Amino acid sequence: MRPTRFITLSALYTALLICVQFVLSGVAGVELVTVFLLAFCFMAGVKAGVTVAVCFSTMRCFLFGFYPSVIILYLVYYTGFALFFGFLGNRFHRKTTFYAFLWTVILATAFTAIFTLLDDVITPLFYGFGLNAAKAYFYSSLPFMLSQCICVAISVSLLFVPLCKALAFVTE
């Protein structure tokens, strides 16, 4: 991919992810950033995926505020997410076969659970929660984790293949 195309595609996709998150930010448990970033990383590769993940993680702070634990969480999680699914796209040669689809749904749902579990570790450590407060924070996050995992399983099942087909034209 040429540098101008890479920069333009990364900027536009970062803006798309910000819009998706902003539009759905008021609805608890509904989250479509995962499927959009997943399809992009799968089709565009590791370099473009990590670029968009870092830009998205940084830019969302301008919209939702600069909270240190959230900055750390987003930068660690989405960078790892982009690396993993970019490599997965390489592994499946950017083809959305049945096995690629099945593994993508399962792994995207697992990554969503990992996001909440990372938050359950980072936030209490950063803010110095005691053991009881950390446990309360963990247990209060479980219903949100469950609803987000269900949402991701459904959204990836429905949108992954169409998004990859649309991105195939852009990322060539």
- pLDDT single digits (tens) 96-112: 999 999 999 999 999 99
- What is the predicted pLDDT for the residue at 30? 83
Q: Give the gyration radius of the chain's Cα atoms.
A: 16
**Selected residue with higher pLDDT from 73 and 28:** 73
Structure tokens at 20: 């998706």
Using CA of residue 84, residue 3, residue 74, residue 106, what is the dihedral sign?
negative
Taking 90 as the threshold, does the pLDDT of residue 2 lie above it?
no
| 37 within 8 A of 17, measured Cβ to Cβ | yes
Taking 90 as the threshold, does the pLDDT of residue 29 lie above it?
no
Structure tokens at 124: 């209490």
| 82 within 8 A of 49, measured Cβ to Cβ | yes
- What is the predicted pLDDT for the residue at 32? 94
- What is the predicted pLDDT for the residue at 27? 83
CA nearest neighbour of 42 among 98, 1, 101, 2: 101
pLDDT tens readout for residues 121-163 = 999 999 999 999 999 999 999 999 999 999 999 999 999 999 9
- What is the predicted pLDDT for the residue at 24? 87
- What is the predicted pLDDT for the residue at 16? 96
Burial 137-159 (b: 16+ CB within 10 A, else e): bbeebeeebeebbebbeebbbeb
pLDDT tens readout for residues 58-97 = 999 998 888 999 999 999 999 999 999 999 999 999 999 9
- What is the predicted pLDDT for the residue at 83? 98
| 87 within 8 A of 107, measured Cβ to Cβ | no
Average pLDDT of the residues of the chain: 94
pLDDT confidence bin for 53, thresholds 50/70/90: very high
pLDDT confidence bin for 25, thresholds 50/70/90: confident
| 36 within 8 A of 81, measured Cβ to Cβ | no
Domains along the sequence of the chain with CATH: 3-171 (1.10.1760.20)
